[in-house]
Amino acid sequence: MSVPAWLRAAALVVVGVVLASCSGDGRRGAGGTPTELRLAIGGESEEGYDPTLGWGRYGSPLFQSTLLARDADLDIVNDLATRHEVSPDGLVWTVDIRTDAKFSDGEPVTARDVAYTFTAAARSGGVTDVTVLREAVAVDEDTVELRLTKPQSTFVNRLVSLGIVPEHAHGPDYARKPVGSGPFVLEQWDEGQQLIVRRNDAYYGAKPAFERVVFVFTGEDASLAAARSGQVDVAALPPSLATGEIPGMKLTRVKSVDNRGIAFPFLPDDGRTTAEGRPIGDDVTSDLAVRRAVNVALDRRALVDGVLNGFGRPATGPVDELPWHEPAAAVGDDDPEGAKRILDAAGWVDADGDGVRERGGTKAEFPLLYPAGDSLRQGLALAVADMLKPVGIAVTPQGESWDVIRTRMHADPVLFGWGSHDATEMVNLHSSAQAGVELWNPGLYRNPVVDGELDAALAATDPQQATAHWKAAQRQFGPGADAAWAWLVNLDHTYYADACLDLGQLQVEPHGHGWPITQGIAGWRWTC
């Protein structure tokens, strides 16, 4: 039996150039225990390490403290804060902070720094969205009030993700020379190659076991080669490369809410463009029958088993297994005959016998864009094309740069990756107010009913009421209704780690940006 193209691509391993590294002896202390940790766990933050611009949104900010944090069970716990409370109307968040925290330059962390950080983040318009903030006021040295323009049920996540910066040292070059009160201090950044951080011995929390940590910036194949040659202690790899044993290393599988899905252009192609001249609309995916047929036809379990090597779960929506997930929004899949019936009823037929349906002179065909160089998304795109061909939909996978994807994402389907501990992600992906903002709601999906449910969820001061509105929104934008997206898989993040390195209890991870595995790095220890 021939092997499908998508499965061959998913399983292909090409060993790249082995990165250079310093000798093992230089990494060990007097007792023989390594004092330096080397990690190949993803790319660098090209914008730098300024939380007010978005650094730390998908993981620990590393150099900075946050007011609150999530533990390994995703429960919210104190970090820089000692207490917080919310007024009954949801408009004032009062936070007391600890008095023993210092920035890495020796200056104390005060409520003024917290107020400054939230104000700066609100003004910057970065991806850590605090636009609902009316003002942040330091009531005294260790108490701050965050006053909102309207209640926002998800605002607690800003206290979890926004690292606190010092007012006195937050200048134009801060992103490349961060000063913070977190467990590490940036020592050296060789852009495009590596980032070297050292332990912050003045940190108020548990001290990391390592004097230095080196983040090496390598591609997937080079990371695998580095792990095989013992040049890194932890390597993050896509599931397609997490095959076989590596002597001296163990494969660590971490459950995540990191998903992959297809964003459909929601509007027809009537010649419109954005203000920047980007094309809008697609006459195939703007048809509800096509979007529903794609969702019904795809065999998501086969995607997990074939492309992810079993490291993951089928995706039914953007927030699977989180507290606000609505299972009733899911539809049955792996049903090509059902997909054919949907298309037949909508007038999509293969009249000329070429294997591709058409309606009114329009072929049921479209490209599927994905970031070039991402082997996992390539494998998924090829698999989707194989699965939709029998139902009469022709898909052409195309690997492109993000610059190209940004110009085409309102007119061509794109294979995106998302996944957050914050329910706000549903707003970003489906609210008409976010249509075309950065990479959010790229298909320009609009539904007033969904907008109303999302707004009500945000405004709710009762968590149970918020959850009810989140679930109602999913029942409308999900695959059985508007089918705004075709969600494919939820990933398990896969890492090769030194067999003697204890990574502790790992939390369910968000999307892979920002090195989410480092959330608990202060507790990592050598065991031999």
Cα dihedral sign, 330-331-334-339: negative
**Percent above pLDDT 90 for the chain:** 83
What is the tens place of the pLDDT at every residue in 362-408? Answer: 999 999 999 998 989 999 999 999 999 999 999 999 999 999 999 99
Distance of CA 285 to the CA centre of its chain: 25
**Residue 500 pLDDT > 60:** yes
What is the tens place of the pLDDT at every residue in 20-51? Answer: 333 333 454 545 567 899 999 988 888 899 99
**What is residue 360's predicted lDDT score, i.e. its pLDDT?**
95
Taking each helix axis as running N to C, give the angle between helix 463-477 and helix 448-459, from 0 to 180 degrees, rounded to the nearest 10.
160
Cβ(185)–Cβ(167) below 8 Å: no
Residue 128 — very low, low, confident or very high, per pLDDT cuts 50/70/90?
confident
Cα dihedral sign, 231-236-237-242: positive
How many Cα neighbours within 13 Å face the side chain of 246? 26
**What is residue 56's predicted lDDT score, i.e. its pLDDT?**
86
**What is residue 32's predicted lDDT score, i.e. its pLDDT?**
55
Task: Name which of 468, 446, 448, 447 is nearest 457 in CA terms.
Answer: 468
**What is residue 44's predicted lDDT score, i.e. its pLDDT?**
87
End-to-end CA distance of the chain: 47
Beta strands at 234-237 and 36-40: parallel, antiparallel or unpaired: parallel
Cβ(441)–Cβ(414) below 8 Å: no
What is the tens place of the pLDDT at every residue in 231-284? Answer: 999 999 988 888 889 999 999 999 999 999 999 999 999 999 999 999 999 999
**What is residue 33's predicted lDDT score, i.e. its pLDDT?**
60
Q: What whole-number distance in Å separates Cα of residue 477 and Cα of residue 462?
A: 23
Q: What whole-number distance in Å separates Cα of residue 265 and Cα of residue 287?
A: 10
**Residue 155 pLDDT > 80:** yes
Mean residue pLDDT across the chain: 91
Cβ(458)–Cβ(153) below 8 Å: yes
**Residue 19 pLDDT > 70:** no
**Residue 18 pLDDT > 90:** no
Q: Which two tokens stand for residue 458?
A: 């945000």
Q: What whole-number distance in Å separates Cα of residue 339 and Cα of residue 296?
A: 6
Residue 330 CB partners (closer than 8 Å, separation 6+):
316, 317, 478, 479, 480
The overall pTM is greater than 0.75? yes
Q: Please state which of the ranges 25-39, 200-214, 340-354 shows the lowest mean pLDDT.
A: 25-39
Rounded average pLDDT over 417-426: 94
Q: How many residues does the chain have?
A: 528
How many Cα neighbours within 13 Å face the side chain of 47? 11
In 98-148, at which residue ranges do the beta strands (DSSP E only) sit? 133-140, 143-148
